[in-house]
Amino acid sequence: MRDTADKVDLSACRLCVIGNLGSGKKDGKQQARAIREALEGRVAEFALRETDRGERLPGLARQAVEDGFDIVVAYGGDGTQSAVAGALAGTETAMGVLPGGTFNYFARDLGVGETVEDALETLLDARVRRVDVGQIENLVFLNNVSLGAYPHILKTREGIYKRWGRSRLAAYWSVLVAMRRLRHPMRLTAKVDGQARNFTTALVFVARSAYQLDSFGLDGADAIRAGNFAVLIARARRPLPLLRSAFRLAFGLSAKDSDFDLIITDSLTIETGKRQQLIAHDGEKTRMVSPFDLQVRHGALKVLVPADGSSKTKGAEA
């Protein structure tokens, strides 16, 4: 498939959908039927490969590339999109996006639609666009990476989801519960262009989603669109003021730039006092060894977006 502004001829493409049955709240089998009905018969070859184990997603995506599919479509939340993108980045295989999670920041950033129905319309009338992705060590991410308080919020959120189900309210409640347990801030060094800056903080948020920062009301979205990271380092060190900052981030209604130091760069190294650190990335979490090298991989991923350049996301730029 050529990287072109022309519309994708879907009828000439072999297309594989990688589905995460554990994403979102909707019936996975019902959604799978809707996806199959929308795409099967409109492509040269159609395959649907599903799993309820998130750790299997990268392998399924890599296998689809090896099997010669022209397009690999990820169905699921941001963690699913990130897992599939990590397998496709640097290849000539194009990625399609079907949102199936709670927040779906990547789908909104691309403007492909906030529902599966809208995103299917995009796939049927699409063009290819190259986009940047973030990378920390050998791990690709699409929206954000964070250290400190946020990974622990995710751990708390998993328990709340299991008990009360997935919802935005449950996600926000997990912020309150996790922050109550916060006691000790991190000491870290951020190195950019050979210059080192030392911080004592409870939260580092490395953003790659312009849509997410816009929704939070924070600076840095234009820098992301220009191919950089927006690195937000919380100034608060104690639980109560940090709770206010984290709550502003969670609700995205009254975030304040004064709560954070902002670093704009497309590559940096972060070193923490602990050898191993829990890292959150696109709603998932992984334990990694410090120091952490982060870089923007420019134009590394080919994605399908609306052919006419419009956006199916409310409030997003085309």
Residue 154 resides in a domain: yes
Same domain? 39 vs 118: yes
Residue 106 resides in a domain: yes
The two beta strands, 45-51 and 71-76, are: unpaired
Work out the mean pLDDT of the chain and round it to a whole number: 85
User: Does the model's pTM come out above 0.75?
Assistant: yes
The CATH number for 262's domain is 2.60.200.40
Residue 74 resides in a domain: yes
For residue 48, the cross-strand partners are 17
Residue 273 resides in a domain: yes
What range defines the domain where residue 122 resides? 10-131+299-306
CB-facing half-sphere around the CA of 129: CA atoms within 13 A: 21
Residue 168 resides in a domain: yes
Residue 317 confidence (pLDDT): 45
Measured distance CA(94)–CA(310) in Å, rounded: 19
pLDDT digits (tens, 9 = 90+) for 1-41: 444 557 999 999 999 999 987 665 556 678 889 999 999 99
Same domain? 73 vs 150: no
Measured distance CA(56)–CA(21) in Å, rounded: 12
Same domain? 112 vs 166: no
123 with 176: CB under 8 angstroms? no
User: Which of the pair, 150 or 2, is modelled with greater confidence?
Assistant: 150
Residue 293 resides in a domain: no
Q: State the total domains in the chain.
A: 2
User: Which strand (E) or helix (H) includes residue 241?
Assistant: helix 239-251
- Sign of CA pseudo-dihedral 239, 260, 211, 280: negative
pLDDT digits (tens, 9 = 90+) for 92-143: 999 999 999 888 999 999 999 999 999 999 999 999 999 999 999 999 999 9
Same domain? 207 vs 241: yes
